[in-house]
């Protein structure tokens, strides 16, 4: 396997900057200053057509004038200059580039052509590049900063790949204020050469990076993305924010499956399939990512809560419970140890509520150490471990009674040694989170942040941070994914599809679709096509009443509400009446399907639709008449392993219907999962199928049976 291109790009021994100047308002100058001022120890070569000295360094008019070949070039020049400058660097042997300049495919056909030229240069000379239209990189291990903002001096442990440059440059002061530090951060831009998956692979290997966060606007190679993340996520947490999944970005389809398919629902399923923890805001992405990067992994669900106020403690408990954590009552022995340290009226059971208590050592160190030592919990949340922030707030009222003591003296008098408090996670190997309404103006808050203990500005956020750790515990406990081989293509099925396309069909009729399903082992209803009324009666007699009577023509993709279907037909007379009524509603002679009525009150939907970048994606959800109304559906990308298919079943809100329910037996989950796997396999074997809609899949006893099917074709 070739070496990841990020290795050299993030560890250059020399950097040239095309676009650096002495003008402080130019982006190239700002990025050059970041290289020079933030501690990078390699060689620096500014490229400028006219200036001889740039930022105190000798400048060169052309890459061809350089005294040596730099490992990396940063291009921050007008769009028209990017191609010739990159080619000159490629000619002298530079192997890595970061192209900040914009004006490429994001601008239209002319920009697309320029971007293609960049790819040609890369292929010709073996140069790999990041961008164009990106904002640079950060590698805190060697103090390398190619962004425009100053970098935190201490190395961090949170890796980031972002399809927006803002989130690795404008946010650096925001992150510094919250004690969050990158290990590596990479802005991917247009991904014309190095893409977000290359970055993921690198961060997965990087020992400095303990957790990975992704800002994603779209994935172009879905199967590679899933395969890469499934390897990394059980070992190293991956969190992602996806944007662009609103109704404005949804696609339409001819089947229920297509109608339900929106990018957000798709990415929700893809992230779960990949083992990625989804965040819905950039704030959560940073905060939860830092929680995973900075704290020991969670071992179980038991959470201890220590607070100096009942309200925040209750809020933490409530939100932790919603997130799947438990807040167990402490043992009598543990409570007996806690009780002498708190007021007689305070609670020792969990949450431990000290009520109004200003001794932060008891709140933040003594009691938490006792709890963590007990072995009764897997994590701890603390609210109210404040000091100077609170003291500054009350000082104006206390100054007089304190003998006009100065604020500095007052703060020094109230300060406590919190060393033991901030060392608790490392000492016990258990995660800890802090809730506080005070920021860095409070010395305790800043101490926690500076010792890599996450501090959230509300109890609810702290609880959700802990619950995020639980998501990775679940991912670590996931069954191994073993991808089965595709079945051989069924020649009868392939022939049926070819014949339909040759005849100009845009879909298969229901009976044809079911014949293809049956050819691949999917259980379907017993049924036959009737050419006339008498034949319909004969078929029904062979199947046995009750039966369903349906119009069966490819042009009729949906029959409900149009008089083209009759269910629970129990007598010959009713059958004849239904036959005539359906023919009349169709307005012409039409094949009629006579089908057994499957006894079962639980109905699900399965299907497939195709997405750019992901190929065929399989759907599962609540079926029947509620499919589009309730939209209780999930997606995964094909092919599916047995584990992935079974996870889909329990991912819907109505998953209780799959177990024993109101006297009904539990559904045969492996059989239902095999249908989903087969739907994905059929889509991969037959790319002419654009959409598959199996609705309903009826549970007869415990076994799933496909009662209706639609295959939409594409030329």
CATH code (residue 68)? 3.40.50.720
The answer to whether residues 117 and 90 touch, using CB atoms and an 8 Å cutoff, is no
Query: What is the mean pLDDT of the segment spanning 190-197?
Result: 96
Note the pLDDT tens digit of each residue in 324-333. 999 999 999 9
Query: What is the mean pLDDT of the segment spanning 122-128?
Result: 97
Dihedral angle of Cα 16, 17, 18, 19, to the nearest 10 degrees: -160
Examine residue 281 and state whether it is found in any structural domain, yes or no. Answer: no
Note the pLDDT tens digit of each residue in 682-713. 999 999 999 999 999 999 999 999 999 999 99
Examine residue 261 and state whether it is found in any structural domain, yes or no. Answer: no
Band (630; pLDDT cuts 50, 70, 90):
confident
Query: What is the mean pLDDT of the segment spanning 504-525?
Result: 97
Query: What is the mean pLDDT of the segment spanning 226-245?
Result: 94
Where among 223, 243, 263 does a domain terminate?
243
Band (185; pLDDT cuts 50, 70, 90):
very high
What is d(CA 624, CA 621) in angstroms, rounded to the nearest whole number? 10
Res 453: pLDDT? 98
Computed over every residue of the chain, the mean pLDDT equals 93
Examine residue 273 and state whether it is found in any structural domain, yes or no. Answer: no
460 and 581: one domain?
no
541 and 645: one domain?
no
Express as a percent the part of the chain with pLDDT over 90. Answer: 84
Query: What is the mean pLDDT of the segment spanning 604-631?
Result: 89
Res 411: pLDDT? 80
Q: Which has more confidence, 252 or 55?
A: 55
What is d(CA 415, CA 436) in angstroms, rounded to the nearest whole number? 17
Structural domain containing residue 656: 483-525+598-715
- Say yes or no to pLDDT of 249 above 70: no
515 and 547: one domain?
no
CATH code (residue 542)? 3.30.1490.20
- Say yes or no to pLDDT of 274 above 50: yes
352 and 234: one domain?
no
Res 672: pLDDT? 98
Band (262; pLDDT cuts 50, 70, 90):
low
423 and 551: one domain?
no
232 and 218: one domain?
yes
Overall domain count for the chain: 4
Examine residue 341 and state whether it is found in any structural domain, yes or no. Answer: yes
Neighbours of 441 (CB within 10 A): 11
470 and 325: one domain?
yes
Res 248: pLDDT? 41
* Residue 650: Cβ-neighbour burial (10 angstroms; 0-12, 13-18, 19+): exposed
- Say yes or no to pLDDT of 442 above 70: yes
The b/e string for 113-139 (b: 16+ C-beta within 10 A; e otherwise) is ebbeebeebbeebebbbbbbbbbbbbb
Can you read off the two tokens belonging to residue 472? 């990775």
576 and 468: one domain?
no
Q: Give me the half-sphere count of Cα atoms (radius 13 Å) on the Cβ side of residue 5.
A: 20
Examine residue 314 and state whether it is found in any structural domain, yes or no. Answer: yes
- Say yes or no to pLDDT of 193 above 90: yes
CATH code (residue 441)? 3.40.50.261
The answer to whether residues 639 and 244 touch, using CB atoms and an 8 Å cutoff, is no
The answer to whether residues 384 and 353 touch, using CB atoms and an 8 Å cutoff, is no
Examine residue 286 and state whether it is found in any structural domain, yes or no. Answer: no
Q: Which has more confidence, 450 or 561?
A: 450
197 and 125: one domain?
yes
558 and 499: one domain?
no
Band (363; pLDDT cuts 50, 70, 90):
very high
Neighbours of 335 (CB within 10 A): 15
Where among 557, 581, 597 does a domain terminate?
597
Query: What is the mean pLDDT of the segment spanning 208-233?
Result: 96
Res 391: pLDDT? 81
692 and 590: one domain?
no
- Say yes or no to pLDDT of 130 above 60: yes
Examine residue 300 and state whether it is found in any structural domain, yes or no. Answer: yes
Where among 570, 597, 624 does a domain terminate?
597
Strands 689-700 and 703-706 come out as: antiparallel
Examine residue 250 and state whether it is found in any structural domain, yes or no. Answer: no
Band (624; pLDDT cuts 50, 70, 90):
confident
Band (715; pLDDT cuts 50, 70, 90):
low
Note the pLDDT tens digit of each residue in 26-55. 999 999 999 999 999 999 999 999 999 999
* Residue 491: Cβ-neighbour burial (10 angstroms; 0-12, 13-18, 19+): exposed
Note the pLDDT tens digit of each residue in 283-323. 999 999 999 999 999 999 999 999 999 999 999 999 999 99
Band (501; pLDDT cuts 50, 70, 90):
very high
Can you read off the two tokens belonging to residue 258? 């297509």
Res 289: pLDDT? 98
Query: What is the mean pLDDT of the segment spanning 89-115?
Result: 95
Note the pLDDT tens digit of each residue in 472-482. 999 999 999 99
Res 253: pLDDT? 45
494 and 386: one domain?
no
Strands 527-530 and 592-596 come out as: antiparallel
Note the pLDDT tens digit of each residue in 547-602. 999 999 998 877 776 789 999 999 999 999 999 999 998 888 889 999 999 989 89
């Amino acid at each position: 396997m070739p070496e990841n291109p990020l290795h050299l790009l993030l560890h250059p021994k020399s950097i040239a900057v095309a676009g650096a100047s002495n003008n402080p308002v130019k982006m190239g100058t700002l990025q050059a200053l970041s290289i020079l001022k933030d501690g990078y120890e390699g060689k620096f070569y500014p490229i400028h057509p006219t200036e001889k000295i740039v930022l105190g360094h000798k400048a060169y008019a052309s890459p061809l004038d350089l005294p040596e070949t730099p490992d990396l070039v940063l291009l921050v020049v007008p769009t028209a200059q990017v191609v010739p400058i990159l080619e000159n660097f490629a000619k002298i042997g530079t192997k890595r580039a970061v192209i900040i300049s914009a004006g490429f495919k994001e601008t239209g056909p002319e920009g697309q052509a320029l971007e293609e030229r960049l790819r040609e240069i890369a292929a010709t000379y073996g140069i790999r590049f990041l961008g164009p239209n990106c904002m640079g990189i950060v590698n805190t291990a060697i103090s390398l900063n190619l962004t425009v903002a100053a970098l935190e001096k201490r190395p961090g442990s949170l890796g980031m790949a972002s399809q927006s440059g803002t989130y690795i440059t404008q946010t650096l002061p925001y992150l510094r204020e919250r004690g969050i530090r990158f290990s590596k951060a990479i802005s991917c831009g247009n991904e014309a050469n190095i893409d977000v998956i290359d970055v993921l692979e690198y961060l997965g290997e990087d020992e400095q990076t303990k957790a990975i966060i992704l800002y994603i606007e779209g994935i172009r190679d879905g199967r590679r993305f899933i395969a890469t993340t499934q390897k990394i996520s059980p070992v190293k947490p991956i969190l992602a924010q996806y944007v662009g999944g609103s109704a404005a970005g949804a696609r339409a389809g001819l089947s229920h499956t297509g109608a339900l398919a929106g990018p957000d629902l798709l990415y929700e399923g893809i992230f779960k399939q990949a083992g990625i923890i989804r965040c819905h805001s950039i704030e959560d992405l940073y905060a939860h990512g830092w929680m995973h990067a900075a704290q020991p992994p969670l071992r179980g669900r038991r959470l201890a809560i220590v607070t100096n106020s009942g309200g925040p403690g209750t809020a933490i408990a409530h939100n932790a419970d919603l997130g799947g954590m438990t807040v167990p009552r402490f043992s009598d022995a543990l409570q007996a140890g806690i009780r002498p340290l708190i007021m007689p009226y305070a609670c020792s059971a969990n949450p431990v509520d000290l009520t109004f208590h200003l001794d932060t050592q008891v709140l933040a160190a003594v009691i938490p150490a006792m709890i963590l030592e007990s072995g009764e919990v897997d994590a701890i949340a603390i609210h109210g471990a404040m000091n100077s922030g609170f003291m500054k707030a009350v000082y104006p009222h206390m100054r007089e009674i304190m003998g006009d003591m100065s604020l500095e003296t007052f703060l020094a008098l109230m300060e406590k040694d919190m060393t033991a408090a901030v060392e608790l996670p490392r000492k016990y190997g258990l995660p800890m989170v802090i809730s506080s309404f005070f920021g860095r103006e409070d010395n305790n808050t800043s101490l926690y942040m500076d010792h890599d203990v996450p501090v959230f500005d509300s109890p609810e956020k702290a609880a959700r941070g802990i619950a995020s750790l639980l998501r990775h515990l679940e991912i670590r406990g996931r069954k191994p994914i073993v991808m089965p081989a595709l079945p051989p293509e069924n020649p009868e099925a392939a022939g049926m599809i070819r014949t339909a396309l040759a005849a100009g069909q845009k879909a298969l009729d229901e009976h044809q679709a079911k014949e293809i399903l049956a050819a691949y082992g999917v259980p379907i209803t017993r049924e036959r096509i009737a050419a006339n009324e008498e034949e319909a009666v004969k078929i029904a007699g062979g199947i046995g009443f009750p039966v369903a009577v349906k119009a069966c023509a490819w042009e009729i993709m949906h029959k409900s509400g149009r008089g083209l279907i009759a269910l629970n037909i129990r007598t010959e007379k009713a059958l004849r009446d239904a036959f005539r009524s359906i023919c009349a509603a169709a307005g012409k002679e039409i094949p009629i399907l006579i089908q057994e009525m499957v006894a079962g009150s639980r109905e699900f939907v399965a299907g497939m639709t195709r997405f750019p970048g992901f190929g065929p994606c399989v759907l599962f959800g609540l079926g029947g008449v509620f499919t589009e109304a309730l939209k209780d559906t999930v997606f995964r990308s094909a092919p599916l392993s047995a584990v992935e298919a079974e996870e889909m079943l329990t991912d819907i809100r109505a998953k209780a219907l799959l177990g024993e329910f109101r006297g009904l037996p539990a559904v045969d989950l492996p059989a239902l999962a095999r249908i989903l796997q087969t739907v994905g396999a059929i889509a991969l074997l037959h790319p002419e199928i654009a959409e598959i809609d199996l609705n309903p899949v009826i549970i007869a006893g415990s076994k799933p049976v496909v009662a209706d099917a639609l295959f939409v074709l594409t030329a």
